[in-house]
Amino acid sequence: IKIKITNIDIPVAFASAFEGEIIRRKDMQVEFDGSRVDCAELVHTCDASEIEDHKITVVGPEVDDMELGSKNSIAYVVKVAGKNMQPDFEPVIERKFHNYINCIEGVYHTGQRDMQRIRISKTAFEAGFKIKHIGEVLYASVKNEFDAVVDKCEVVIYTDPAECTRVRHEVAIPIFDKRDERLDTLTDESVDVYYSCILCQAFSPSHVCVVTPERLGLCGAVSWLDAKATHQLDPNGPCQVITKERPINEELGSYEDVDEAVQKLSQGALEHVTLYSIMQDPMTSCGCFECICGIEPFSNGVVIANREYAGMTPLGMTFPEMASMTGGGVQTPGFMGHGKHFISSKKFMKAEGGIERIVWMPKELKEFVADRLNKTAKDLYGIDNFTDMIGDETIAEDPETLVAFLTEKGHPALGLDPMM
Ligand code: SF4
Ligand code: ZN
């Protein structure tokens, strides 16, 4: 990916060289953390008459008013207008915020939607970096990269906690939900093509995501609709069409077309990738997975941990420990990074029996996916309230306690064949 270095009016440098920069706690002035407080990032299509181009507004305290080392709320809404703009392009532009903000010297960004995390370093703060400069960067980058569809752009950044709560819950989440619902009507069988995404090759050179309607990118930010929009916006860009005309094994989700595409896009590093198996030629992981699932041999099942979860899992590993085994664009059978929404997909490790393999998840994640996961379990196996059978950290953090719980609940994984 290329990011043009532009003349943006900010007191620190802006260049792709700063993308990989990490800001440690002791070097940080302030942080914003969507997993702890209300945050959001959103592109919103408006009528041209509603937008004043290059207007940047900050609603709430500036960095100077925030306590050193504090965790704060932030929500930014990038309003765009243009003759060729489509609401389907909004999430594609949003996903680029991660790169834009990371290119600021002394500023670090991860996550997306309402789960982003930003750190501003002491050095950037001392150089005069302010919240409004995030707006300058977003404005210039969006105008620069999406000039084919964005004619006018205005940025509103909220740091007032009550406003962030309002924007997150009343504006952003309903929009995210609507996007997810659109996708729900599509299945892998109902579409003619899949899409590749190689946006993360900047960090993981051999990593390729194959994005299908029922399997979004592992970052959770690129759905099949997003990949399709990305391809429309930039036909030679990170998302390419993958045909699905030559299936090898429908259970595994393997196709000659998919293999050819990943071979080419990984420069030969990958030969075979399946869409539905975590044991046989699983998809690779870069570093930005929302979740990781890993096999739990005592229960014939899998444990899932999400990035926000700070505790221990019954695998004897924390999320960062699981991540160190999973990332880097290599295939690691038995471990796989994936998006949160993939958990309730009928294609989730379908080759190994599907979601009935899930034996443990952090409580918060379980609650987040419960409605959708329970519906899938009912549809696939006729099981009611499946999430009640799944362990969490309040029930077990070791395999013995977990298996005792699963046995008591009659969890279906115990009756399945071992995975290895
Ligand atoms: Fe694309 Fe996959 Fe990276 Fe998401 S994780 S941006 S889908 S390559
Ligand atoms: Zn990635």
How many other C-beta atoms are found inside a 10 Å radius of the C-beta of residue 346?
Answer: 14
The residues with which 272 forms a beta bridge, in sequence order, are none
Distance between CA atoms of 40 and 44, rounded to whole angstroms?
Answer: 12
Angle at the Cα of 265 from the Cα atoms of 259 and 267, rounded to 5 degrees: 100
Q: Tell me the pLDDT tens digit for each residue of 186-204.
A: 999 999 999 999 999 988 9
Residues 6+ apart with CB under 8 A from 357: 300, 301, 302, 349, 413, 416, 419
- Residue 4 is predicted with a pLDDT of 53
**Cβ–Cβ under 8 Å, residues 299 and 418:** no
Q: Tell me the pLDDT tens digit for each residue of 360-383.
A: 999 999 999 999 999 999 999 999
Domains of the chain by residue range: 16-183, 193-415
Report which secondary-structure segment, H or E, holds 358.
strand 358-360
Of 208-212, 284-288, 394-398, where does mean pLDDT reach its minimum? 284-288
The answer, yes or no, to whether any atom of ligand 1 lies below 6 A from the CB of 219, is yes
The answer, yes or no, to whether any atom of ligand 1 lies below 6 A from the CB of 217, is yes
Candidates 196, 273, 288, 338: which one to mutate for ligand 1, based on the most atoms within 8 Å of Cβ? Answer: 288
Q: What spacing in Å lies between the alpha carbon of 307 and ligand 2's midpoint? A: 13
Distance between CA atoms of 326 and 199, rounded to whole angstroms?
Answer: 18
Q: Tell me the pLDDT tens digit for each residue of 210-254.
A: 999 999 999 998 999 999 999 999 999 999 999 999 999 999 999
Query: Model confidence at 180, in pLDDT bands (50, 70, 90)?
Result: confident
Q: Which atom belonging to ligand 1 lies closest to the Cα atom of 95? A: 6
- CA separation, residue 149 to residues 8, 54, 143 (Å): 21, 16, 9
Task: Give this prediction's pTM.
Answer: 0.80
Pick the CATH number of 16-183 from 1.10.3720.10, 2.60.40.1730, 3.65.10.10, 3.30.1650.10: 3.30.1650.10
Among protein residues, the one whose CA lies closest to atom 5 of ligand 1: 219
Distance between CA atoms of 20 and 266, rounded to whole angstroms?
Answer: 21
Pairing mode of beta strands 358-360, 301-306: parallel
Average pLDDT over residues 294-305: 96
Taking alpha carbons only, the member of 227, 214, 198 closest to residue 338 is: 214
Average pLDDT over residues 321-341: 92
Q: Tell me the pLDDT tens digit for each residue of 252-267.
A: 999 999 999 999 999 9
- CA separation, residue 290 to residues 3, 45, 96, 201, 318 (Å): 25, 27, 17, 17, 14
The answer, yes or no, to whether any atom of ligand 1 lies below 6 A from the CB of 209, is yes
Class of domain 193-415: alpha beta
Instruction: Kindly provide the ipTM of the predicted complex, given to two decimals.
Output: 0.99
